[in-house]
């Protein structure tokens, strides 16, 4: 639960590492559910793992797009601070 809360805090600060934290949290939770024999919860955990990786990929593409645009906008120009 601590990892899941940490993931939410990271997300609130727009840090894409939240998806890695959520992935680890969901893998641990899936292992617990497998040992307990609660397979419907394992399905849910797998869905959350897939969604976390999807979020990582989407945020990576968005981050790269903004980085590229900001670099292109400053080529040959003096950047004011």
Alpha-carbon Rg for the chain in angstroms:
18
Q: Give a yes or no: residue 22 inside a domain.
A: yes
Q: Give a yes or no: residue 48 inside a domain.
A: yes
pLDDT number for residue 46:
98
Question: What helix, strand, coil percent values describe the chain, rounded to 5?
Answer: 80, 0, 20
Q: Do the beta carbons of residue 21 and residue 3 sit within 8 Å?
A: yes
pLDDT tens, residue by residue, 31-76: 999 999 999 999 999 999 999 999 999 998 887 766 665 555 555 5
Q: Give a yes or no: residue 56 inside a domain.
A: yes
Q: Give a yes or no: residue 79 inside a domain.
A: no
Q: Does the model's pTM come out above 0.75?
A: no
Q: Give a yes or no: residue 81 inside a domain.
A: no
Q: How many domains does the chain have?
A: 1
- Whole domain around residue 55: which residue ranges? 2-70
Q: Which of 6-10, 15-19, 41-45, 64-68 has the lowest mean pLDDT?
A: 64-68
Nearest C-alpha neighbor of 21 from the set 62, 63, 49: 49
Q: Give a yes or no: residue 10 inside a domain.
A: yes
pLDDT > 60? residue 1:
yes
Q: Give a yes or no: residue 64 inside a domain.
A: yes
């Amino acid at each position: 639960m601590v990892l899941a809360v940490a993931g939410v805090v990271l997300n609130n600060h727009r840090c894409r590492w939240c998806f890695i934290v959520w992935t680890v949290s969901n893998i641990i939770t899936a292992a617990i559910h497998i040992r307990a024999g609660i397979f419907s919860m394992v399905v849910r955990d797998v869905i959350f793992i897939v969604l976390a990786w999807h979020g990582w990929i989407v945020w990576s593409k968005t981050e790269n797009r903004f980085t590229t645009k900001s670099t292109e906008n400053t080529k040959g120009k003096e950047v004011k601070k």
